[in-house]
Amino acid sequence: MGSPLAGLKAGVISGVVFVGALALVNVILLYAFQSQALTIISKSFSAVCTLVESNSTSSAVNVTSPAVKACFSDVVSVWPEFFAFINFFIALFLASVFGWLYESLPSSRPTIKGLSISVVALVVYIYFGLLGLTFVIQAAELLYAFALADTVLFGYLLGKLYGRYSRTVDIVSQDGSAKILVDGKDFTNKKRTFSVKSVHEVKAEPQEGSSFKEWTVSGGVSVEDNRSYETTMEVNGDGVLRVGTKR
């Protein structure tokens, strides 16, 4: 388990870059294939547009009709932004999951870990049809190709920024004579990442025959009361939290 908060912080920036680039390319492709889009809109006017000309009795209208061009303008100004809005919150959710699962993901490099979540992101966006709106297969293929590169960039930035917003703490039990709980979870003799400038409840549970002595810390880790078996830990940098016991 890592830090969902650090993942969320990293997801804000990487998510903005991801959805912003995807929406921009979607708009560019809509204009690049505008003539084909106008033809499709004219043939299925009522299906594409929310309003149909009052004098129209058919779902089809003339491709040169001002209503068709107005509809196209509405499509360009609304749909890419709509997809970007939805995709941003999905990106934030995936970033939080990334932070939560960080320690379980393969590789020791944050950027490689980030790339693993980018695969999940791409599958989600494709499965639910959230990459954007296109009217012709050529535009769809180009959008999918760009989305592949864009999600790789998202994963890379997510991993890179997670390293900026998190710190690693080595949680050590001297001689293994006590269990160390951090926010109620057993992190004894493990390395875990925490959001920078975060505060956590720590508790020592000595084994039978041992008693708590003190907490010792180093690096960017501090505790509120090193003589209390139950206290709070603040993480401002990489460091070590160690519990000492006595018999």
C-alpha to C-alpha distance for 142 and 100, rounded to whole angstroms: 33
Q: Which residues of the chain carry a pLDDT beneath 70? A: 45-64
- Position 43 scores a pLDDT of 76
Looking at residue 163, what DSSP letter applies? Answer: H
Give the ranges where 58-211 is alpha helix by DSSP (H): 66-100, 110-127, 137-165
Residue 191: per-residue pLDDT: 93
Whose tokens are 């939805």? That residue is: 86
- How many other C-beta atoms can be found within 10 angstroms of the C-beta atom of residue 163? 17
DSSP states of 24-49 = HHHHHHHHHTHHHHHHHHHHTHHHH-
Three-state SS annotation for 200-232: EEEEEEECCCCEEEEEEEEEEEEECCCCCCEEE
- Are the C-beta atoms of 22 and 87 separated by less than 8 Å? yes
CA dihedral 118, 97, 107, 161 (to 10 degrees): 70
d(CA 52, CA 100): 48
Burial 28-43 (b: 16+ CB within 10 A, else e): ebbeebeeebbebbbe
pLDDT at position 51:
42
CA distance 231 to 214: 11
pLDDT score, position 209? 85
Q: For the chain, give every domain's residue range.
A: 4-166, 167-246
User: 169: which 2 tokens?
Assistant: 């703490």
Q: What is the pLDDT of residue 75?
A: 87
Q: How far is CA 133 from CA 22, 31, 137, 140, 193, in A?
A: 11, 12, 11, 8, 39
Rounded-to-integer distance, Cα 156 and Cα 153, Å: 5
Note the pLDDT tens digit of each residue in 75-116.
899 999 999 999 999 999 999 999 999 999 988 889 999 999
Q: What is the CA radius of gyration of the chain?
A: 26
What per-residue confidence (pLDDT) applies to 164? 93
